[in-house]
Structure 1
């Protein structure tokens, strides 16, 4: 069941990040990929800063979304260079 929650968090975070950064989503698979990679980035950033978004589903979505937004901003900067 935890894999299912992980995938749900990834899709939601990727979709939210797509809306925040680009103004649109990337489709189900694209949102999932951005959200999952963003979850790893967000987890690393929050851990490095010693911060916590709380536990549970909402905290996981917040961390993954912040990581996904960072990922999309970095990708956008690299594409412009």
Structure 2
């Protein structure tokens, strides 16, 4: 009986440690996921700003072309 109790107590301790490790891994994964989302959001923001600048340049060039064509 004592042997069974000791074995069960050891198994419980192993399971406790495994649960603690899983929780720790889960927390780490959650933090890393948040960093990925933050980085993706920053990248999207930068892409949007770049596209807006490019759009402005294209519109400006189109206006210049219209003026040049009108002068001919």
User: TM-score band (shorter)?
Assistant: 0.3 to 0.5
Relative to its length, the structure with more helix (as a share) is: 2
TM-score of the aligned structures, taking structure 2 as reference length: 0.36
Structure ID, larger Rg: 2
